[in-house]
Amino acid sequence: MQGDLWQASLGLHGVRMDSAKLEFFRGTLDVLILKALVWGPLHGYAITSLIRRQSDDALLLEEGTLYPALWRLENKGWLDAEWGLSENNRKAKFYRLTAEGRRQLRHEVKTWEAYASAVAKVLGATQPPLPEEVA
């Protein structure tokens, strides 16, 4: 069931992703959410708002994928949820990073950076690679 929702597009502004390429972005939503909560607890709408503004309107999270991801992360124990009052005194569910969530965030960021640099190496190549030495 989760897989189906991951098929739904990540919502890159103006760019439509097809499902094959989405394999590479699995977990991206998770790490974005974890990072968004680094500066304090937020409710779901505030998380989308923060990511939108942070990416200069490039990343628009779809609600259909956001909330299942939030609930999943809460299940896994990376987020803690509690009910509170929003800025205009409405009841809202706030999510907060747990200690384990922070550890997970660090790990995921490292993975992402390694992945990004590897992709950059391939894409930025000016000549084909040297043949491998046969030992």
Partner 1 sequence: MKPIPMWRRYSRLFGPDPAADVKDELRFHLQAKIDDLVAQGWTPDAARKEAELQFGDLRAVQKIGVRMGEKMERRKRLKDYWNDSLQDMRYTLRTLGRDPGFAAVSILILALAIGANIAVFSVVNTLLLRPLPFPDSRELVWIAPPPNACGLSCATYSADAYEEFRDQSRAYQGVTGYMAFGTADNLRLTGRGEPEPATGVEVIGNFFQVLGVQPAMGRLFTAEESRGGPHPVALLANAYWRRQFNGDPAIVGRAVELNGTPITIVGVLPDSFDFGAVFSPGAKVDVFTPLDLNLERNWGNIVTLIGRLKPGVTRAQALDDANRVAPNIYFNVKYPATLGRYRGDLIPVPLKDYVTGKLRRSLIALWCAVGVILLIAGVNLSNLLLSRAVARAKEFAVRGALGASRGRIVRQLLMESLVLSGAGAAVGLGLAVMLIAWLAHQGAVALPLLSSLRIDGPALGWTVLVAVFTATIFGLLPGLRIASGNLQEMLKDSGPGAGLGRKHESIRAGLVIVEVALACVLLVSAGLLLRSFVKVLDVDLGFQPDRAASIKVEYDDSAPTPEGSQVKRGEIFQQIIARVSGLPGVEAAGISDYLPLGPNREWDAPAPKGKVFAPGELPDPLVYVVTPGFIRAMGIRIQGRDFTWADGPRSERVVLINASAARVYWPGEDPVGKILMRGDEEDRVVGVVDDVHEETVEGGTGSQIYYPATQQGPSGAQLVIRTSLPPATLAASVLRALRELNPNQPAAEFRPVQTIVDRAVSPRRFFMLLVAAFAALGLLLAALGIYGVISYSVTRQAQAIGIRMALGASVWRVQSQVLAGTMRLACAGMVLGTVLALVVAKLISSLLFGTSSWDLPTYFGMALALLLVAAISGYIPARRASGVNPMRVLRSN
């997970």: which residue's tokens? 104
């103006």: which residue's tokens? 14
Spatial CB neighbours of 91, under 8 Å, sequence gap ≥ 6: 83, 84, 85
Residue 71's closest CA among 104, 40, 93? Answer: 93
The least CB distance from residue 97 to partner 1, in Å, is 14
When asked if residue 63 is in the footprint of partner 1 (CB under 8 A), the reply is: yes
Site string for partner 1, 37-56 (x = CB under 8 A): ------xxx-----------
- What's the rounded Cα separation, in Å, for the pair 86 and 94? 9
When asked if residue 35 is in the footprint of partner 1 (CB under 8 A), the reply is: no
Residues 69-88 that bind partner 1 (CB under 8 A): 71-72, 74-75, 82-86, 88
Nearest CB to partner 1, comparing residues 91 and 135: 91
The least CB distance from residue 82 to partner 1, in Å, is 6
- What's the rounded Cα separation, in Å, for the pair 73 and 103? 13
Residue 130 per-residue DSSP state: P
When asked if residue 12 is in the footprint of partner 1 (CB under 8 A), the reply is: no
Residue 104's closest CA among 132, 127, 79? Answer: 79
When asked if residue 58 is in the footprint of partner 1 (CB under 8 A), the reply is: no
Binding site for partner 1 (CB under 8 A): 1, 5, 8, 43-45, 62-64, 67-68, 71-72, 74-75, 82-86, 88, 90-93
